[in-house]
Amino acid sequence: MAMASLSFNSLPMQPSSQHSRNNPSSSSTSLNYAATLKPIVISGDPPTFVSAPGRRIVAVGDLHGDLAKARCALELAGVLSSDGRDIWTGQETVLVQLGDILDRGEDEIAILSLLRSLQIQAKEHGGAVFQVNGNHETMNVEGDFRYVDSGGFDECSDFLEYLNDCGHDWEDAFASWCEVSETWKQERTMAHNSWGPWNLVKRQKGVIARSVLLRPGGPLACELARHPVVLKIQSILDSTLQVVGAKAMVVGHTPQTTGVNCKYNCSIWRVDVGMSSGVLDSTPEVLEIRGNKTRVIRSESDAFSELQAADYI
């Protein structure tokens, strides 16, 4: 099976401590540091190489249609506001989501919409958001719907109707779907409360809608085609560094029952923790990368400690 990955040309990265030490000069240091950051340079379409010198990089694993867990993971990563307004709070951070957003959950398009919104906001603050397609994205574009949740079919039906209401303006409908999807879900539930989860009529409508969206050349298939299956990020500040190949890689795809972990002298990091309720329903975790230092963020206190520190700068 295909496996989405994110690779680095820095040396293998040993994990740092869970909590950073407070630094009384962190505020002024962070401001000075931000002012000296070099621009993010992207190569390829879809992007295959990104130069993000000096940036904080955060990797988030498989989300599988669970919007609540996705928001929790993004909040832990320090890139999403916790007030429900879906505001980018990562400043110059580079966020990479490692694919497998589709299947096993009922809010797949809403998560894709949220990431698009954050991508737009991040760019305005000097940060960036990248997505990498996983094998479940590939399967769906190929018409393999074996792992689609019943709610996932329903969301496709709702979104296709919403797209029609928006005059088939894809950018408008897609960017705003995350804001309105919950309302559509509630209205659908009230209208169909007498239907079983696998009612044949509703299921057929959902399959047709999903096929329309994801067929070759379909609007959602084209949206997914904007993302690579492998993304290489250069995070070393030294502009004279010659890129000769990746030395470390971050991968998703296979749920880790022990949480985010690394192998082979930390040259391979595995970040799929099965957080979706359709997989293991585990507690979200994210991987933070700063230069040659890494940190697994497992709780709000871990995320908060980073906001108060400047250890990695």
- Backbone φ and ψ for 230, nearest 5 degrees, come out as -140, 135
Q: Based on C-alpha coordinates, what's the Rg of the chain? A: 20
Q: Which of 19, 64, 136, 253 is catalytic?
A: 136
The span from the CA of 251 to the CA of 241, in Å, is 24
β-sheet bridge partners, residue 146: none
| CA-wise closest residue to 101 among 56, 53, 154, 140 | 140
Sheet containing strand 94-97, edge to edge, reads: 128-131, 94-97, 56-60, 286-290, 293-297
Known catalytic membership, residue 136? yes
The CA-based diameter of the chain, rounded to the nearest angstrom, is 65
Per-residue tokens: 149: 């949740």
Exposure string over 287-299, b if 16+ CB within 10 A, otherwise e: bbbbbbbbbbbbe
- Residues in contact with 17: Cβ distance below 8 Å, sequence separation at least 6, in sequence order: 295
- Residues recognised as catalytic: 136
